[in-house]
Amino acid sequence: MFLLWLRVAAILYATACAAVFPAVLYDQLRWRKICVHLGGMAFFFHFVSVVEMLVLAHRWMPVHVYEIESLLGFAFAGLFFLVWWIYDAISLGIFALPATFFLVLFPSLGPGHYVFPSEGVRTSWLVAHIIALMLAYAALCFSLLASLMYLVQERRIKSKLTARESSRWLPLEWLPPLDTLERLALATLEFGFPCMTVGLVIGSVLVQETTVGAAFFLDPKIVASFVSWIVYVLLLLIRRSAGLRGRKAAYVSGAVLVIMMAVWIANFFSQVHRFGPR
């Protein structure tokens, strides 16, 4: 039964992750309450699963990898809720809850070798993985493009020249207003983030069916992928909390795009991220 409780906890952690981002990025009290309640329920079911798992094993120390992962995720969640209870720091959940979810996800699939019901199901998950990551890359590219257009439009306006005074700016009359470009850059950035998150989650599930196992997380390409996800989160936080706009936003978006492109190129040199023979 401990596996059932762990799967329930994984689902609740996933929904808490979905709620923590609007709670932190938009400072919405409703999502804040949803996040805390769902996370608390997940922590409770996780606690039941851990106790039952160790009782059935007739020991109080983890031995197998999936036991260590489950206990580590439990420690992550426990520390987060302790800090939240003392300091009311819900913003830490934007890192702690996804980390807990990833740690719980793999042992919730079962201690054995996970197998998809059919090759068609596996192919569908693989296609979804690729599409989600492609949408994330495309969204970030659009965000960078909008930021660059913002810089051009800003310079054009500050020059105080009209098309009659200088023909240099004549081809740029079609550029949207600065406010529109700024909202477009932020909207595409926020759209790409859940796509990237879903892509990483699906990829993590897919690799559990291969012979790679835990070595999946030792591959530099995989490490770089999760680092780029963290950088993506930091970019969203900075833009929201510091009000990053215009030139600085374009520079930061460009830096994130360079990191993600490096991760994409590293895929061709990765010896693990190939989903080879199972």
Tens digit of each residue's pLDDT, the chain (278 residues): 788 999 999 999 999 999 998 888 888 889 999 999 999 999 999 999 999 988 887 777 776 777 888 888 999 999 999 999 998 888 888 888 998 998 888 788 776 656 777 788 888 888 998 899 889 888 888 888 888 888 787 777 777 555 455 555 556 667 788 788 888 888 888 888 888 888 888 887 777 666 555 555 666 667 777 777 888 888 787 776 656 666 676 777 667 767 767 766 766 665 555 544 44
Q: Nearest CA to 106 among 156, 157, 72?
A: 72
Q: Please measure the distance between the N-terminal and C-terminal CA atoms of the chain and give it in whole angstroms.
A: 28
Domain ranges of the chain: 2-108, 120-269
Q: Tell me the C-alpha to C-alpha distance, in Å, between residue 198 and each of 1, 18, 140, 158.
A: 28, 11, 15, 41
CATH topology assigned to domain 2-108? Four Helix Bundle (Hemerythrin (Met), subunit A) (1.20.120)
Q: Nearest CA to 103 among 131, 137, 62?
A: 62
* Alpha-carbon gap, residue 213 to 111, rounded angstroms: 11
pTM for the model: 0.75
147: its two tokens: 């930021």
* CA angle in degrees (0–180, nearest 5) for 78-113-18: 40
